[in-house]
A and B are shown apart, each in its own frame.
Chain A
């Protein structure tokens, strides 16, 4: 059972992600996570004012079932298949954490941002909220996220998805290398 409990190697994980795509396609569905955010907006009533959200959300409800599963999967992974310790990142990355005031003795996510007690820090709340805003706005603008573009779109050899993925990296590199020193 050790192979289940230890972090999975990249080639196992990558293969299984491709299998997720395959199974969803064989079920006559798509592999895309961010469109669920649009569906949830519609369920909250956003369609009354904005036409973008005015669609029959029931046709997309299958994807919410996948999301519900993903939430359960996260629970199972965290509680039964791991000890929640910090990933085995490279020494160079570990060393650089100090400049960000993020401890090397940490959990699966940095507790400085994702511990419940961190919510008493207004700055942390702003970081999380702005991060979410950028993710929600950006994925809908680009028409997909990592699953919809980087996996599904590129697997279908779509040039638009390649442009989007280049955008993902432009944004990510700007954030980590230019903006991080001003935030952390």
Chain B
């Protein structure tokens, strides 16, 4: 049952990514040129409500549908991994105009070349796993 709900959440998320145009290279390119409010509006609105939802869950100790307390893990404190890793991701995001969610959404939309981006992302993830202990974190 829960799997079906998760599947539906995924389907709706995929449609949102497509219809918001956040999965389009053109919108990402435009965002990094600061030539439209569109992407900033999406992220701003998502954050506005995201903060309300997340903080409400924490403040009122809302439980999940299983009756378990909802635990939202804090990110580990560090600087280098976030700024370096973030910059590397930003380079790739701007180059192909897709972040990990939209990579999958665009594969579903039928853009076959996105499979190469996916293969690259798998390879990149694997490379990180191999090099992890040698990188500053």
Q: Which residues of A contact B (CB under 8 A)?
A: 4, 7-8, 10-30, 33-34, 36-38, 40-41, 44, 46, 49-50, 52-53, 62, 65-79, 81-82, 86-87, 89-90, 92-93, 96, 106, 108-110, 113-116, 118-119, 124-125, 127-147, 149-161, 163-177, 179, 183
Contact of B85 among A17, A26, A38, A139 (CB under 8 A): A139
> Which residues of A lie under 8 Å from residue B70 when comparing CB positions?
25-26, 28
- B51 contacts across to A, CB distance below 8 A: 154-155, 157
Q: Is the interface of A mostly helix, strand, loop or mixed?
A: helix
A68 to B4: give the CA distance in the assembly, Å.
Answer: 11
CA–CA, A43 and B60, complex, Å: 38
Considering the chains assembled together, what is the distance between the CA atoms of A113 and B73 in angstroms?
38
Which 4 residue pairs are nearest across A and B when measured between Cβ atoms?
A73-B14, A69-B10, A167-B86, A132-B120
Contact B82 A73 (CB under 8 A): no
- 30 residue pairs bridging A and B, Cβ less than 8 Å apart: A7-B19, A13-B20, A16-B20, A25-B70, A33-B104, A41-B126, A70-B101, A73-B18, A74-B14, A74-B17, A74-B106, A78-B110, A81-B18, A90-B35, A110-B26, A116-B113, A128-B113, A128-B116, A137-B125, A140-B125, A142-B85, A145-B101, A147-B99, A149-B75, A155-B54, A164-B86, A167-B90, A173-B90, A174-B90, A174-B91
A173 to B11 Cα, complex, angstroms = 31
Asked if A18 and B53 make an inter-chain contact with CB atoms under 8 angstroms apart, the answer reads yes
Partner of B93, one of A4, A29, A76, A168: A168
Given A18-B49, A37-B125, A92-B33: A170 touches B87 (CB 8 Å cut-off): yes
In the complex, besides A52-B129, A167-B82, 6 extra interface pairs with C-beta distance below 8 angstroms are A18-B52, A138-B87, A138-B124, A142-B82, A149-B82, A160-B75
In the assembly, what is the distance between CA of A174 and CA of B50, in Å?
Answer: 29
Looking at chain B's contact residues, the main secondary structure is: helix
| A143→B84 CA distance, assembly (Å) | 11
Are the CB atoms of A113 and B30 closer together than 8 Å? Answer: no
Digit string of B1-39 for contact with A (CB within 8 Å is 1, else 0)?
011011111111111111111111111111111011111
Of B10, B30, B45, B111, chain A has the most CB atoms within 10 Å of the CB of: B10
